Structure 1
Amino acid sequence: MKEMNCKLLVIGSGPGGYACAIRAGQLGVDTIIVEDKAHGGTCLNVGCIPSKALIHAAEEFSHATRFTGDNVLGISVQKPTIDLSKTVAWKDGIVARLNGGIGALLKHAGARAIIGHARFRDGKSVIVKTDLGEQLIHADKIVIATGSVPLEIPSLPFSGDVISSTEVLALTRVPKRLIVVGGGYIGLEIGTAMAKLGAEVTVVECASRILPQYDNELTKPVADRLIALGITVLLNAKAEGLSDGKDKLRITLENGEITELPFDKVLVAVGRKARTGDCGLEELALKMNGQFIQIDDRCQTSMHGVYAVGDVTGEPMLAHRAIAQGEMTAEIVAGEPRAWDKQCIPAVCFTDPEIVTVGLSPEGARALGDDIVTQGFTPAEGMAQSGGVTIGKFPFAANGRAMTTQNDSGFVRIVARAKDHVVLGIQATGGGISELAAVFALTLEMGGRLEDIAGTILAHPTQGEAFQQAAQKALRHATHI
């Protein structure tokens, strides 16, 4: 067996893993990164990037379809068609280019990349099965970045026409009837895209509402849009399994009635779980938080010299969190003093309309109670405050740019501390609102106040003006509403 040595071994080249290896290489750390499939992990290969490509194609097709009939823009086109296999080929081309880009970045940074399946022998060594045989790698430090996989329902195992988000993004034909089990962001993003492409979509959600991690005010525009697209949403409903003929899905409805719905494909999108079962973690003495690896504020596990980043460490399971963790861990391994001190991690739901959340919600801010409220503080006259919090909201229906792009549903909402106007959270829903996530996050990370936002000159006409107007609304001097 061939043996190799390095200072840092990274297992998994998803966003957390490749960011860690690249940064470590930049800092002069002798680094090896092992990946059993393709660089980029779930996000690049079967998640974030390909799903957004599908969503974009579906949106373009939806626009074209809308112009076949009477419309206020006066545009008229013939009935459009879509060759989904060509769309998938385009998506695959994007993925391939980004795959190659990561490989080039790793090489440029001096990190050695090995394609193969890694399995722990102990806390300092890993056996990697490659096409050329097994390799034994000894490392001073190890970073576990194995990511996550779709969560399977026991009564609906992935097989045949019961598929996960991985398989649905590789379909070459639009299913006539698609049932989506799960009303979270993955199910609704893909379900909405498929509906725009012409599929008859039914969403089965066991909770009392869709997107339960968001408040009703944020999700109402999405729920309204689902209705407009003809998507059927069954709430308080449970998927029980397939019929005897394997062509219908048995569902227990809210009233207890059991019904069967015919389908061409069933997409099970009920969440994801840590990928920990095939890398020999049982050889290590790691403390776990349920299925996830427990880490501290330096991404250190319970074993000295073993770190973990990304989805394998739990929620929020977001690529940008993994990247930040990976970069920080590389710097720690290189000897730099680092600890996790981020003020916020933005979350984006790419539904129609999109949803962005950063920091605390109104309810979350109020729940802090005395941690926010300063006794004896007298708010400015007319300022809305509740539990030490002031809130400003501005609708896109009053935003010129949103109106001219026909994206005037939704709003921007700012939550600030009443005593000093420091921004605690920002939420928004609307068309293209994901592109404002950067400025929302930057505001919180830099300790911005309402006056900072309200006093900044923003370009007109842009959707970003709604952010400024929401701050002015909280200060009670909005000029456009």
Structure 2
Amino acid sequence: MTELRTSLLVIGGGPGGYVCASRAARLGVDTMLVELDRLGGTCLNVGCIPSKALIHAADLFATAQAQAGDGVCGISVSAPVLDFNATRAWMDGVTANLRGGVASLLKRSGVKTLQGRARFLDGKTVEIAADTGDTVVRADNIVIATGSRPADLPGLPTGGNILDSTAALALEDVPERLAVIGAGYIGLELGTAFAKLGARVTLIEAADGILPQYDDKLTRPVRRRLSDLGLDLKTGTRVTGWDDATGTLSLTDAEGDSTLAVDKVLVTVGRAPNTFGLGLEELQLRMDGPFIQVDDRCQSSMRGVFAIGDVTPGPMLAHRAMAQAEIVADIVAGHAAAWDKTAIPAVCFTDPEIATVGLSPPEAEAQGAVETREFSFRANGRALTLDDTEGFVRIVARASDHVVLGIQATGPGVSELVAGFTQAIEAGLRAEDIAATIHPHPTLSEAVQEAALGLASMPNHG
């Protein structure tokens, strides 16, 4: 058995892990990274990146179909043809290119990479099992960055025609009939994409609405678009069984029991942290349910053992993991650092997109008096030129001084606006600061200024 020593061992090569490892190495720390599968983790290989690529391809196909119908903006084309194998090849090319970039980054940074399954022997020692043999690594500091996996639905294990999000993104053909269980962001993103690619999609949600983390006004445009695309939305409905022989789901709702015949079932009921098999029982770390409890330095209850990303409590977002990664790398390199972020942005890549940061109106109201203003994209010149005016921007500000507490938006391209929303909150800006900042015309960003003007004085176009 090979034995190695290092100052820092990072377990997991996803966004949090590779950012932590490369940054620490560039800061002069002797660093190793171990990854079980492929560099880039879930996000790059079977999550964020391929799903957004699929969404983009689906949007292109849906536009082409509209152009082949009544035409779009005076443009008509012949009926489009979908070559899904070519689409998959393009998606795979995108992920391969980025994966190669991660490998190159780690190599340039001086990170030594290992492939295999890591398991703690104690707080300073990790055994790595690989096809080529086992390796024991002794490290002064260890970072757990093993991410998360799709959660299972009790009584409906994945396999065969029952898919999780990873299997759905690996499909070789667009299913004719697809049931999506769970109307959260993953279910809606993938369900909408497959509907645009030609599948007959049924969304099944046990709760009474979609996207429970967002208020009804933000989700209303998404529901309208689901209807326009022909998706069948069944809320207040539970899945009680699956007959694989007949391809039939058993359902129950307030009106009684029913069945649904489909070709594939996509289960999107959340994600669970990847901590099983790590040997955490050897460390007896403090846990928060299934998550590893950490302090504001991302340190666990054991000195020298850190955890970042989806294995820690908080939103399961790649950009949160990367922010935590920077903190840990700086600490291991001997610099002072701690988590001091005011807000973490979130984006749902539905149609239309939803982007939020900071406090929602009810959350802000629980802390005191607030004022809110909205500006609709129907009065935005750029949205009109894009032929997509669904949605709005909303600013939530403290009533006493108009300090911005939260910004929410739904509409075309709002994912590209949310970084500015976050910067406004992190900088402690007031609505008057945003209102007094010149926003270029014609852009979607003008809706942000108009909403701020509604708080500071009066909107120019409202």
Q: Shorter-chain TM-score: what band? A: over 0.9
Displacement of 1:72 in angstroms is: 5.4
Q: Supply the distance in 1 between the matched residues of 2:80 and 2:49 (Cα, whole angstroms).
A: 25
Is 2:407 the partner of 1:426?
yes
Displacement of 1:477 in angstroms is: 1.0
**Number of residues of Structure 1 aligned to a counterpart in Structure 2:** 462
Displacement of 1:17 in angstroms is: 0.5
Displacement of 1:132 in angstroms is: 1.7
Alignment partner, residue 416 of structure 2? 435
Alignment partner, residue 156 of structure 1? 156
Task: From the superposition, tell whether residues 72 and 51 of structure 1 become closer, same or farther in structure 2 (CA, over 3 Å).
Answer: closer
Give 1:110-149 correspondences, 5 Å limit: 110-149=110-149
Is 2:266 the partner of 1:267?
yes
Displacement of 1:245 in angstroms is: 2.7
Alignment partner, residue 193 of structure 1? 193
Give 1:290-309 correspondences, 5 Å limit: 290-309=289-308
Aligned partner letter, 1:116: G
The answer (yes or no) to whether the contact 1:85–1:171 under 8 Å persists in 2 is no
Alignment partner, residue 325 of structure 2? 326
Q: Supply the distance in 1 between the matched residues of 2:284 and 2:114 (Cα, whole angstroms).
A: 26
Alignment partner, residue 444 of structure 2? 463
Aligned partner letter, 2:377: F
Q: Supply the distance in 1 between the matched residues of 2:72 and 2:39 (Cα, whole angstroms).
A: 46
Displacement of 1:426 in angstroms is: 0.3
Task: From the superposition, tell whether residues 154 and 452 of structure 1 become closer, same or farther in structure 2 (CA, over 3 Å).
Answer: same
Alignment partner, residue 313 of structure 2? 314
Alignment partner, residue 171 of structure 2? 171
Displacement of 1:246 in angstroms is: 4.6
Displacement of 1:244 in angstroms is: 6.3
Alignment partner, residue 7 of structure 1? 7
Displacement of 1:315 in angstroms is: 2.4
Q: Supply the distance in 1 between the matched residues of 2:154 and 2:187 (Cα, whole angstroms).
A: 18
Deviations 1:125-152 (A, max 9, x none): 0111123200000000100001100000
**What is the Cα-based RMSD across aligned positions, in Å?**
0.9
3-state secondary structure, aligned to 2:68: coil
The answer (yes or no) to whether the contact 2:402–2:455 under 8 Å persists in 1 is no
Displacement of 1:279 in angstroms is: 1.4
Q: Supply the distance in 2 between the matched residues of 1:445 and 1:287 (Cα, whole angstroms).
A: 30
Any gaps of 5 or more consecutive residues in structure 2?
A: none
The answer (yes or no) to whether the contact 1:396–1:402 under 8 Å persists in 2 is yes
Deviations 1:16-58 (A, max 9, x none): 1011001100110011000011111110000000000000000
Mean CA deviation greater in 464-473 or 83-92: 83-92
3-state secondary structure, aligned to 2:89: helix
The answer (yes or no) to whether the contact 1:393–1:474 under 8 Å persists in 2 is no
Q: Supply the distance in 2 between the matched residues of 1:271 and 1:69 (Cα, whole angstroms).
A: 37
The answer (yes or no) to whether the contact 1:23–1:327 under 8 Å persists in 2 is yes
Give 1:206-285 correspondences, 5 Å limit: 206-243=206-243, 245-255=245-255, 257-285=256-284
Q: Supply the distance in 2 between the matched residues of 1:13 and 1:244 (Cα, whole angstroms).
A: 36
Moved over 6 A (4+): none
The TM-score with structure 1 as length reference comes to 0.95
Q: Supply the distance in 2 between the matched residues of 1:85 and 1:234 (Cα, whole angstroms).
A: 31
The TM-score with structure 2 as length reference comes to 0.99
Any gaps of 5 or more consecutive residues in structure 1?
A: 370-387
Is 2:203 the partner of 1:203?
yes
Q: Supply the distance in 1 between the matched residues of 2:430 and 2:35 (Cα, whole angstroms).
A: 44
Q: Supply the distance in 2 between the matched residues of 1:155 and 1:314 (Cα, whole angstroms).
A: 27
Alignment partner, residue 339 of structure 2? 340
Is 2:397 the partner of 1:398?
no
Aligned partner letter, 2:389: D
Q: Supply the distance in 2 between the matched residues of 1:240 and 1:246 (Cα, whole angstroms).
A: 15
Alignment partner, residue 366 of structure 1? 365
3-state secondary structure, aligned to 1:67: helix
The answer (yes or no) to whether the contact 1:243–1:260 under 8 Å persists in 2 is no
3-state secondary structure, aligned to 2:383: helix
Displacement of 1:253 in angstroms is: 1.7
Q: Supply the distance in 1 between the matched residues of 2:50 and 2:98 (Cα, whole angstroms).
A: 11
3-state secondary structure, aligned to 1:50: helix
Q: Supply the distance in 2 between the matched residues of 1:33 and 1:429 (Cα, whole angstroms).
A: 39
